[in-house]
Structure 1
Amino acid sequence: MIPDLSHDRIDRLREAFLSAGYDADGVVELLGPAAHAALGRGEPVPALRAAADAGELGTLVRLFLLGEAEPRTAVEAALHPLPLSEALAAGLVVADGDALRAGLDVRPHGVGEDSWWVISDLDSDLRGGRPVEPDHVLGVGQASLSLVRATSRRPVGSLLDLGTGCGVQALHASTHAGSVTATDVSRRALALAEATFRLNRIDVELAEGEWFDPVRGRRFDQVVCNPPFVVGPARTDFVYRDSGLAGDDASALVVRQLPSFLAEGGTGQLLASWVHRRGEDWEDRVSGWLPPGGVDAWFVQRDVADPALYVGTWLRDAGYDPRSPQGRRKAAEWLDWFEANDVLGVGFGFVTLRRTGAARGEVVCEDLRHAFDDPLGPESDRWLRRVDWLRAHGSDEQLLATPLRTADSTVLEEVSAPGDEGWQNLVHRLHRTDGPGWQHEVDELGVRLLAGCRGALPLGDVVELLALGCGEDAEELTRAALPVVRELLRHGMVIPAEWAEEDR
């Protein structure tokens, strides 16, 4: 059933929220940092205490954020000027005896200076622990927030949000895209997304259909996608996570087709999953999904889950108790499929794609499972810029003729052990202190080379001086240094000297 969220009802709901101060800042101010943090951890009591006797804002917080049953008179006052009868007809609230509960999840969502409201379906916890429905529309979860952080925010003319769900990616896209198009296969998702956009006064073109079908023949400056990437048998228990395709075919489909919907130089960012199979390299697997031609691709693996953990996590996500008869049956079917297909684990991460005029694209797969806090969105822009620079300076002669500078964010760690003649150095490790926090081990000559990269001399001169000072053969040292320098350039640990001047 699709809720009847007419424009008039949504407009009145917006008035109610504005009047009560039910927005991201208002909720944080009401609850306070400690109770707000506890709510984010799934601990409602501090928030309940803070929202008590807090007027209409308190009623809305208890109703929509905490899932409490509220008196009709209190809800009617909090939703004014939206009549209670209209809120019931729209499915925003439902009767619970003499009281009312939320029928939909309507909550503020704020990042930085931006604040919106998002309408989605209630998760399992707010449904009393019952499993969600097959056409469940997921709200703002960790996966969607991860994609928000991994998406480039450079200004673009047109953007496609493929599989918009509740519309959260499109909301963020509205801050940097001239026009936004959002698609979904689910009519319920499109109805809730349309209501979300209306509630926030954001103009988004909506289209219904599978995958890229609604936008065939069109190209965009940017595409973002949080697809139904869950790996498993070819079935669709829940449209928000299951594609109906077996294994990791959903992720493969998006990676394979997305570049053809990009304008020249356009970029795409998506979440994806891939299987780790016995005897197969995951890097070969995902790079094999790419279409032929000029596509730059950066695959970042952030986690690998063993099959048992993977299945248990997604069962709980949908509200199934893994110990229940239904949970056991689904887990057994899922694990049987993994075993039959030699799946040792499931990788998860982010993919950045760019349509380029180059005859051959740059394809890099990296395992970044270590902890880091910086978002990948800005880094993806910088990564593509570095790819362009390396492509333009592809020959050894061009690179050697260029002054380079060790980036200010690069630091050196040295590990030593006691020996007969004092401390003996074991490791020289470079760390990048921002972005994904890359690390590279180098030898003593590498340490000295980077110390000499201060932007004053071309790289070739620095290598020759180092060879002269250390008694090394210059040609051999050059051959050894060039691949190391290229890798450090790709990771932003060494940069062209002109970039350092631009940043000052």
Structure 2
Amino acid sequence: MSTNTPLPDLSPAVCARLREAFLRAAYDADGVVAALGGAAHSALGRGEPEPARRASLDAGDLGTFIRLFLLGLTEPEKSVETAFAPLSAEAAVAAGVLKAGPDGFQAALDIRPHGDEEGSWWVVSDLDADMLGHTVPEDHVLGVGHASLSLIRATSRRPVGSLLDVGTGNGVQALHATRHAQRVTATDVSARALALAAGTFRLNELDVELVRGEWFAPVARRRFDQVVCNPPFVVGPPRVDYTYRDSGLAGDDASALVVRQLPGFLNDGGVGQLLASWLHTGREDWADRVARWLPAETDAWFVQRDVADPGLYVGTWLRDEGIDPRSPEGRAKAAAWLDWFTENDVRGIGFGFVTLRRAAGKTPTVVCEDLRQAYDDPLGPEAANWLDRVEWLRAHGDELLDVAFRVPVTVLLERVDSPGPEGWETTVRRLHRTDGPGWQHEVDELATRLLAGCQGALALEDLIELLAAAQGLEPGELAAAALPVVRELVRHGMLVPAGPH
């Protein structure tokens, strides 16, 4: 499924003129929403383009860009020449931005606004299968999809000196990185991806170093303060149908490779964040599997967001490449894929986020946990705070009894009462953190009473002694039972130090 399509010529001169045209027309994230209106914009997001087409007819040059790049429609030469000025339609075709047809011009690339809280960029990618009318070629450069957006939200944005984006694709991770990193380097194995990413950066007047090569090879012997990676994490037989999703490695070996190698490219204390997939087999627990990938002296937080049934997984990715699972081709591919899963005893495919930190000379903390509930807050700030809390616990591991803790106001205690012989009886006590990812912990009555005393006034040891005396328990035994619970609640931000006692 290779392609002989020539690379676009997104030169600095072409991008400067295109940028001028976009700015003049207000072709940005806010401009598009304003032109279409909320209802039509929402309809477009649902895959219903007609309301957006109608709304765009009164939007002048902005409407032309919307119909070309967002709706995939043909525009007459006069409208194109007016909207793209000072870039001529002929120059846009020569650059690979547009293609000429008998009735006018169509988009040859997907160029669309992408914004954050601080402003708007343009992202250059390839047209998807719906726009092309056929399956995409092997070197297809994906647009900003759900996986990209989820990694953006899961990435820490604390200021850093240097950041590496491995497998940059259209460059969207690097775009966001320029907000908080002084220097950004992006790599990709695909020449086409690098050409489109270069266009993305030139359009946005950003200086990003681009280097070509597989995995970490282009930056051998270099280290960074932060590394982000959205790897080709689709699991299954070792094949490459599409470079944006298939690694050519079997099973979850692509995710394992990144987890094993990434910490070696971090400065001490540096942080890596990536999307990953892992196999659930009948031979081992998934947490044991991914923990084996880790190099020494690496803090790691594996957060499992979903587990897919093998049959559902295969059908989803067949549709991703535009193949009907009911077709002869779809049935043959599904059979080979499912045979591989059966041969390797695959019961499910886990997917989620991985946060890594190089912790040279320290005893690492490795935590694997499920986070499949829905939540609204981005995970990036939580990941950064999780690393802070891990470091605090490492520094105070032998002194927790001397610390005065408090329960944040964002943590609530929920009770479930059931009718019993003497009236209502509490059967479940659950702590619920109402911000971040919404962590929940079930606790017993003793833990509930201990936490009620955590108001920042008394050290944990004093609270345990008071509770032990009230319950007729041995303080040492109660402390041994309480400390693991305290550590877990601290890691999840549900119990915070109020300062030394």
Shorter chain as denominator, the TM-score bin is over 0.9
What residue identity is the alignment partner of 2:68? L
Q: Distance in 2 between matches of 1:75 and 1:278?
A: 58
Question: 363, 366, 378: which one pairs with 1:375?
Answer: 378
What residue identity is the alignment partner of 1:453? C
Alignment-derived partner of residue 217 in structure 2: 213
Q: Deviations over 1:140-159 (max 9, x none)?
A: 00000000000000000000
Shift of 1:126: 1.4
Is 1:48 the counterpart of 2:53? The answer is yes
Q: Distance in 2 between matches of 1:320 and 1:56?
A: 36
Is 1:63 the counterpart of 2:68? The answer is yes
Matching of residues 346-495 of structure 1 within 5 Å: 346-395=349-398, 398-495=399-496
Q: Distance in 2 between matches of 1:59 and 1:283?
A: 51
What residue identity is the alignment partner of 1:406? V
Where 1:165 maps in the other structure, the secondary structure is: coil
Could you tell me which runs of 5 or more consecutive residues in structure 1 were left unpaired when the two chains were aligned.
500-504
Is 1:137 the counterpart of 2:138? The answer is no
Is 1:226 the counterpart of 2:230? The answer is yes
Alignment-derived partner of residue 120 in structure 2: 115
Alignment-derived partner of residue 276 in structure 2: 272
Where 1:389 maps in the other structure, the secondary structure is: helix
Is the CA contact (8 Å cut-off) linking 2:403 and 2:499 kept in structure 1? no
Where 2:488 maps in the other structure, the secondary structure is: helix
**Number of residue-to-residue matches in the alignment:** 495
What residue identity is the alignment partner of 1:470? Q
Matching of residues 197-208 of structure 1 within 5 Å: 197-208=201-212
Question: 21, 24, 35: which one pairs with 2:40?
Answer: 35
Q: Deviations over 1:271-328 (max 9, x none)?
A: 0001111121000000100112x11000000001111111111111122222222222
TM value normalised by structure 2: 0.97
Alignment-derived partner of residue 27 in structure 2: 22
Q: Distance in 2 between matches of 1:331 and 1:114?
A: 43
Where 1:10 maps in the other structure, the secondary structure is: helix
Q: Deviations over 1:393-413 (max 9, x none)?
A: 112xx1101111112211000
Q: Deviations over 1:363-394 (max 9, x none)?
A: 00011111111111000111000001110111
Q: Deviations over 1:437-480 (max 9, x none)?
A: 11111111111110100000100001111122233322222121
Alignment-derived partner of residue 186 in structure 2: 182
Is 1:340 the counterpart of 2:334? The answer is no
Where 1:299 maps in the other structure, the secondary structure is: strand
Alignment-derived partner of residue 324 in structure 1: 327
Q: Distance in 2 between matches of 1:326 and 1:119?
A: 31
Alignment-derived partner of residue 147 in structure 1: 151
Q: Distance in 2 between matches of 1:260 and 1:12?
A: 41
Q: Deviations over 1:68-119 (max 9, x none)?
A: 1111211121111101111111111112322211110000001112210000
Is the CA contact (8 Å cut-off) linking 2:25 and 2:83 kept in structure 1? yes
Where 1:181 maps in the other structure, the secondary structure is: strand
Shift of 1:30: 0.6
Q: Distance in 1 between matches of 2:273 and 2:478?
A: 39
What residue identity is the alignment partner of 2:372? R
Could you tell me which runs of 5 or more consecutive residues in structure 2 were left unpaired when the two chains were aligned.
1-5
Q: Percent identity?
A: 69
Is the CA contact (8 Å cut-off) linking 2:74 and 2:103 kept in structure 1? no
Q: Distance in 2 between matches of 1:198 and 1:212?
A: 24
What residue identity is the alignment partner of 2:162? S
TM value normalised by structure 1: 0.97
Alignment-derived partner of residue 308 in structure 1: 311
What residue identity is the alignment partner of 2:495? V
Where 2:499 maps in the other structure, the secondary structure is: helix
What residue identity is the alignment partner of 1:77? T
Alignment-derived partner of residue 502 in structure 1: none
Where 1:497 maps in the other structure, the secondary structure is: strand
Q: Distance in 2 between matches of 1:16 and 1:122?
A: 21
Is 1:164 the counterpart of 2:168? The answer is yes
Q: Deviations over 1:208-235 (max 9, x none)?
A: 0011000000000000000011101111
